[in-house]
């Protein structure tokens, strides 16, 4: 039996979460077919599919903060969004490191790139330039929603036919890709083979937001400079492209909390996961287990308080789906 390492734990959780997301997508497809009359088998909409609507969740999050209204259109989406924000504040970008299926796909593409031995290390000025797009996109969404849109506009969007059918529109987009979207996705996939975690590092605005919040996290990897032998293995395995071997405390917005740097270090106790508040070492699996715990806690609480499944009548929803 292989020893459980940070890499093995991360790969296992990512794989299971990706399988769950595929299953969720399939269940939603069955639900959609029933709603538009292509199937006579009634299928409940899986709430987890709303986790793929972060922009809608950001809108409903503002509505919750300003008006105290919990979104009834996509309550599960708002629940997941809040859980991910809390996760980042406490356990860095645990969502990106362990739960997001795009992270798993990026991981597989990176492995393919390593086999070709033609991966490109991006750092310095080029890294800074490539990091700009995701932060610009994040700033645009946050500014537009929190500073430009009023309560009436947000409520209007949340209760619009477009928002009601957002998951179905996304399903149709990916099942009926046009030429330009196909080329764009192919380009991102190709770049992800040669530039490790290209989408996650340089394009994802969701990850940019979580990265900024994660800098407030009390949890971080610390390096003992006296024990370090400057082998560079920690930096080589970092999916965020962080120069771990040059830092005392890794508090970068690009850190996904995977702790693979700890697993790769050949010197015992040179790299450790640390609680910066108590200055005590904590188990390297804390971020992984803690992230899953927070996600399940919010899910269970939402189910118990009726904030997971939308109370909207099926016949009303069917009307929206039929008129997409």
SS3 (DSSP) at 249:
strand
Angstrom CA distances, 100 to 33, 93, 166, 264, stand at: 26, 10, 19, 23
280: phi then psi, degrees, rounded to nearest 5: -110, 150
Give the chain's mean pLDDT.
95
- Segment 88-107 shows an average pLDDT of 95
pLDDT 10s digits, 219-262: 999 999 999 999 999 999 999 999 999 999 999 999 999 999 99
CA distance 321 to 168: 8
pLDDT 10s digits, 188-217: 999 999 999 999 999 999 999 999 999 999
DSSP 169-198: HHHHHHHS--HHHHHHHHHHHHHHHHTTTH
Residue 1's pLDDT is 45
% the chain with pLDDT above 90: 94
pLDDT interval class at 2 (50, 70, 90) = low
- Segment 148-176 shows an average pLDDT of 95
Residue 227's pLDDT is 97
Could you tell me which residues are beta bridge partners of residue 290? Answer: none
219: phi then psi, degrees, rounded to nearest 5: -95, 130
CA distance 273 to 221: 4
pLDDT 10s digits, 41-69: 999 999 999 999 999 999 999 999 999 99
């Amino acid at each position: 039996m292989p020893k459980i390492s940070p890499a093995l734990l991360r790969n296992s959780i990512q794989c299971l979460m990706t399988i769950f997301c595929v299953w969720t997508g399939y269940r939603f497809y069955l639900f959609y077919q029933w709603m538009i009359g292509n199937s006579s088998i009634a299928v409940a909409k899986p709430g987890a599919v709303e986790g793929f609507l972060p922009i809608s969740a950001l809108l409903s999050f503002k509505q919750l903060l300003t008006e105290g209204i919990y979104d009834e259109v996509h309550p599960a989406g708002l629940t997941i969004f809040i859980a991910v924000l809390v996760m980042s504040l406490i356990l860095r970008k645990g969502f990106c490191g362990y739960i997001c299926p795009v992270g798993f796909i990026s991981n597989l593409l990176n492995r393919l790139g390593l086999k070709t031995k033609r991966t490109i290390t991006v750092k310095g000025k080029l890294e800074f330039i490539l990091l700009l797009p995701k932060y610009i996109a994040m700033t645009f969404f946050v500014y537009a929603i929190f500073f430009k849109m009023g309560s009436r506009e947000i409520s209007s969007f949340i209760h619009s036919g477009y928002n009601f059918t957002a998951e179905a529109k996304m399903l149709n987009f990916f099942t009926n890709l046009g030429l330009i979207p196909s080329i764009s996705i192919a380009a991102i996939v190709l770049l992800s083979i040669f530039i490790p975690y290209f989408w996650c590092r340089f394009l994802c605005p969701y990850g940019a937001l979580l990265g900024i919040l994660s800098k407030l996290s009390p949890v971080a990897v610390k390096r003992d400079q006296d024990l370090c032998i400057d082998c560079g293995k920690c930096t080589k395995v970092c999916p965020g492209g962080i120069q771990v071997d040059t830092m005392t405390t890794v508090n970068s917005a690009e850190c996904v909390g995977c702790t693979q740097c700890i697993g790769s270090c050949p010197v015992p106790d040179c790299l450790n996961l640390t609680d910066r508040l108590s200055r005590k070492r904590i188990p390297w699996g804390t971020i992984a287990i803690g992230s899953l715990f927070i996600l399940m806690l919010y899910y269970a609480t939402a189910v118990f308080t009726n904030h997971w499944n939308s109370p909207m009548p099926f016949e009303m929803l069917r009307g929206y789906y039929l008129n997409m």
